[in-house]
Structure 1
Amino acid sequence: MLRPRAAEPCFAVGARPSSGGAEHSCRCLSRPLRPGFLFVYVAAVVLSIPAASVLTIAAGFLFGPFLGGTITVLAATLGSSLLFVAARGVLGDLLRRRAGRFVERLAEGFRRNAFLYLLVLRLAPIFPFFIVNIAPAFFDVKLRTFVAATLLGIVPATFAYAWLGCELDDVIARAGESGHALSLSDFATKEISLALLALAVIATLPLAYRVIKSRRQG
């Protein structure tokens, strides 16, 4: 069963290496998809379409965790940077009106330490991705600061989602090779559980941030 994914094993315990011919076929099938996927992801970020998680899982499914995660990090950073530049330019007023009162809630953090604050917002998605993409533009944050904090901050969640996508692909592939119909129990693997655990930990970061912030203020 040929799958359009790069010949790259999931970083999962017990992942099975593919045969040489299958590896070559998968690698060849995946190459034409990479530029198109990159374009779609960048467009989704620029247009603020809430599909980042699904697309990142798809990247892991198609290309494997390392390549899929890397493509996603680059695409998300590029798309975010384009939106940031647009917010600093002719679309600034329009985007600020669309963001509403969210922007002012971020003002103090960006004025104190723009890089660290943006890094925290990327690591712990407290506010919508769209808001975090454009808000720094209204507080004189430099483009290089924005790019660096975004690139570093989105890595953990991105690779966790890509890992999950890769593991889902492996489950489906094993079912296809064995010829049995998929069931929910097929997805109850140790690797998928670990990927979901990683995402759960990331999901708790906003709560941890709020608790720490309230204690400091108290």
Structure 2
Amino acid sequence: MKTNLLKKLLILGLLLLVVVLFQLFDLGQYLSLDYLKAQQAELLELYERRPVLMVALYMGVYILVTAFSLPGAAVMTLAGGGLFGLVTGTLAVSFASTIGATLACMVARYLLRDWVQHKFGDKLTRINQGMAREGGFYLFSLRLVPLFPFFVINLVMGLTSIRLLTYAWVSQLGMLPATIVYVNAGKELARIESLAGILSPSLILSFALLGLLPIATKKLLALVTAKKDHSLH
């Protein structure tokens, strides 16, 4: 019992240390769009010389940013496209974002339950209701439709009963379309002036329709099954 408590305190201390250092040394400046554009040539040169090392370092930083719910994930995704191209960038972002999101979910579930409950209680109620009705289909829809920021989903989902393995693969699948869009946009990194212009209203609408598709299909199948059962009786 004491050993588990000590482990939790150590992990919480590490989390707090990372957040404090991030703020104290203004590390967020290195995850800004302006900084990334300014350093793109140097980073590309490093990638050409040490491609495996660069991808590994990039994924490590991305996982940390996502796991600790730090700002900069969107810019990191653009960087994946700007440095590695569409295919390699998409693979790196997809797996790094999924690992980071799952770690954030684990932290919320085992260490920050009370804080998440207090901070995002209103959103937790809605998400719990959606999970009770639709299960994994609801998480898939949340990943496609930007109703909540992804870091909020990561934390709040930790307080639901969803299995971490299910959370990981559904999240990876649900985040993939937006990942491809951002990575592809990152190939034109020098021309991007702000993050706001990447997701157009029509593209968001497309994601929304795609996100509603599995739930609509599930309800349709349930309706058909109910009618068949009724006709048998």
TM-score range, shorter chain: 0.5 to 0.7
Structure 2 residues without counterparts, runs of 5 or longer: 1-40, 220-233
For 1:62 and 1:81, the matched residues in 2 are separated by 25
SS in structure 2 at match of 1:49: coil
* Closer, same or farther: CA 206–140 of 1 in aligned 2, 3 Å: same
- Give the conservation status (yes or no) of the 8 Å contact 1:41–1:55: yes
Per-residue deviation, 1:85: 1.1
What does 1:8-19 correspond to in 2, within 5 Å? none
Is the counterpart of residue 161 in structure 1 residue 162 in structure 2?
A: no
Aligned to 2:204: 203
1:69 and 1:151 mapped to 2: Cα distance?
A: 11
1:11-64: CA deviations, max 9, x gaps?
xxxxxxxxxxxxxx9543433211211111111112212322111011111111
Question: Does 2:123 match 1:122?
Answer: no
2:102 is the alignment partner of 1:101: no
Aligned partner of 2:135: which letter?
A
1:112 partner amino acid: R
Whether 1:77 and 2:77 are equivalent positions in the alignment is no
Q: Which 4+ stretches in 1 moved above 6 angstroms?
A: 209-213
- Measured against aligned partners, the alpha-carbon deviations of 1:75-109 in whole angstroms (never above 9, x if no partner) come to 11001101111122122112222223111111111
1: CA distance, partners of 2:167 / 2:208: 24
Q: Report what 1:134 is aligned to.
A: 155
Q: How many residues align?
A: 171
More helix by percentage: 2
Report the residue type matching 1:95 in the other structure. Answer: V
5+ residue gaps in structure 1?
A: 7-24, 173-186, 189-195
Instruction: Give the partner amino acid of 1:83.
Output: A
Distance in 1 between the 2:103 and 2:198 partners?
Answer: 32
Change (3 A) 1:138 1:26: closer
CA contact (8 A) 1:46 1:80 kept: yes
CA RMSD of aligned residues (A): 3.1
TM-score for both structures, normalised by structure 1: 0.67
